Amino acid sequence: MSMDVWRKAWALVGKDLALEWRTRESFLVMLLFGAIVGAVLGIAFELRVDGAGDVAPGALWVALAFSGVLGLGRSMAREQEDGCLEGLMLAPVDGSCVYLAKAAANALSMLGVGLVLLPLFSVLFGVNLLRPGLLVVLLLGAAGLSGVGTLLSTMVPHTRAREALLPVLLLPAVVPLVIGAVRATAGVASGQSLSAVAAWLRLMAAFDLVLGAAACLLYACVTEG
Amino acid sequence: MTWRDREPVALIGLSALTMELAIAAALIYAPTERVMGPVQRILYFHVPAAAMAFVAFGVTFGASVVYLATSHPVSDAVACAAAEVGELLAALVLLTGMLWARAAWNTWWTWDPRLTTMLVLWLIYAGYLLVRRSVEDEARRARYAAVVGILGFADVPIVVMSIRWWRTIHPAVFDEKGVHMEPRMLVALLVSLVAFALLFVLLLVVRVRLSKLRDEVESLRRSVL
């Protein structure tokens, strides 16, 4: 890809980030929802498990996936307003560039939510999640959630079920990613090095690459007509 | 109407005959398993249904690729038919697996990798069928369905890989060292595999024919009104 494509993609990412920065609309909702999922899971499981810390990695990724669904829906709803998406499609950039930019912007807001949820979940579940290795896990997880979610969220506004369809399609598809993320998070949180959980990180990276490439190729089929 | 549009009588007869043979082979010809007893005979239906479910999802993938390349309505009808039949077969696999698990493992459900895989696949293709139901416009429905059909199938190897890394308690009848089975049991299994393959083809043909007839009725209705 030429420099030009990256420059255009970066301009589109900048547009989404500037919009988000000025309204802070969907980031705050995502963040609050992630925290609520954490609190609900904490309350639901605390009385039944010995170590609440054992549930923390799973709870974190459930919260991230659910708040991600919320953010993807918001981000797409915003493009629907006043024909923004049509404008994007008319812009002199090709479809894969738009896809990459949208996916990157969505991944960045999920990453932001994840960074705030780490200390929060550390406190709620009494486990130390403030480890640098978790940044890698968060990055791979956000990329995968957003890579598949961006494609699906472009589709759902044109269906009768609307936003209700997004979690139904996205959550089963990201099961392998969540398995890898939970295992890697549990490993790093218990003090293991990144190389000790390399197999799970490779699984996540494979998911990101394979499904990201497929979504990028398929994006044009979803936006036309 | 051409000969191809008629009821596939020969295929129905052949499929019914082999299914009778398979039932006889599974219930009478094959010897009773020493440890598990008669409940092991579920295997002769469980394994072929699982194999054909994977084939069906593969057909959906292939037909979806063909549809996106050619926009030919028959490939969309084939993708839809294969997904519906695959979903039915996957449900059969889950149900027969649960019946067997209750007898062998004393539980209706465990998070064994292979069970989990089949459940995740069932959920992914349930989403596929939901997309088909909730898009009004025909061309858009076919395109969206094809996108989900391709993305879902790209996910299959990663789903399988991710769960392989879990510890499995599922019995392995086939492995690198060959087949661990009494010869007469293997014959019964192979007969049943042929029967399920024919059943799959039959259901596929009947379902595609139904789509074509429905389209024909629709265009006739339009020409009259």
State the ipTM, two decimals.
0.89
Please write the tens of the pLDDT for every residue from A79-124: 877 777 777 777 777 888 889 999 999 999 999 999 999 999 999 8
Radius of gyration of chain B (CA): 20
Q: Is A203 within 8 Å of B139 when comparing Cβ atoms?
A: no
Q: Is A214 within 8 Å of B151 when comparing Cβ atoms?
A: yes
Cross-strand bridge partners of residue B174: B179
Domain ranges, residue B163: 8-28+40-170+185-214
- Per-residue DSSP letter, A197: G
Is B58 contained in some domain? Answer: yes
Is A8 contained in some domain? Answer: no
Domain ranges, residue A153: 22-223
Q: Is A148 within 8 Å of B124 when comparing Cβ atoms?
A: no
Which chain A residues are within 8 Å of B165, Cβ to Cβ? 199, 203
**pTM for this structure?**
0.88
**Chain B residues within 8 A (CB-CB) of chain A?**
68, 120, 123-124, 126-127, 130-131, 133-136, 139-140, 143-144, 146-148, 150-152, 154-155, 158-159, 161-163, 165-166
Please write the tens of the pLDDT for every residue from A197-216: 998 999 999 999 999 999 99
In the numeric block, which tokens belong to residue A92? Answer: 């002199």
Is A10 contained in some domain? Answer: no
Is A6 contained in some domain? Answer: no
Is residue A222 within 8 angstroms of chain B, CB to CB? yes
For position A144, what pLDDT does the model report?
97
**Count of structural domains within chain B:** 1
Please write the tens of the pLDDT for every residue from B64-106: 999 999 999 999 999 999 999 999 999 999 999 999 888 888 8
Query: Who among A158, A176, A215 is closest to B151 (CB)?
Result: A215
Is A26 contained in some domain? Answer: yes
Q: Is B134 within 8 Å of A222 when comparing Cβ atoms?
A: no
With residue B91 as reference, give the H or E element that holds it.
Answer: helix B73-104
In the numeric block, which tokens belong to residue B102? Answer: 């209750």
The three-state secondary structure class of B174 is strand
Is B3 contained in some domain? Answer: no
What is the rounded CA–CA span in Å between residue B142 and residue B80? 9
The three-state secondary structure class of B72 is coil
- B-facing residues of A in 9-48 (CB < 8 A) are none
Query: Who among A155, A199, A210 is closest to B165 (CB)?
Result: A199
Cross-strand bridge partners of residue A41: none
Is A135 contained in some domain? Answer: yes
Is B121 contained in some domain? Answer: yes
Nearest one of B38, B13, B18 to B28, comparing CA atoms: B38
Is A4 contained in some domain? Answer: no
For position B4, what pLDDT does the model report?
56
With residue B204 as reference, give the H or E element that holds it.
Answer: helix B183-224
Is B221 contained in some domain? Answer: no
The nearest CA of chain A is from the CA of B154 a distance in Å of 7
Is B157 contained in some domain? Answer: yes
Is A17 contained in some domain? Answer: no
Is B223 contained in some domain? Answer: no
Is A5 contained in some domain? Answer: no
Per-state percent for chain B, helix, strand, coil, to nearest 5:
80, 5, 20
**Count of structural domains within chain A:** 1
pLDDT at B148 over 80: yes
Q: Is A218 within 8 Å of B134 when comparing Cβ atoms?
A: no
What is the rounded CA–CA span in Å between residue B73 and residue A166? 26
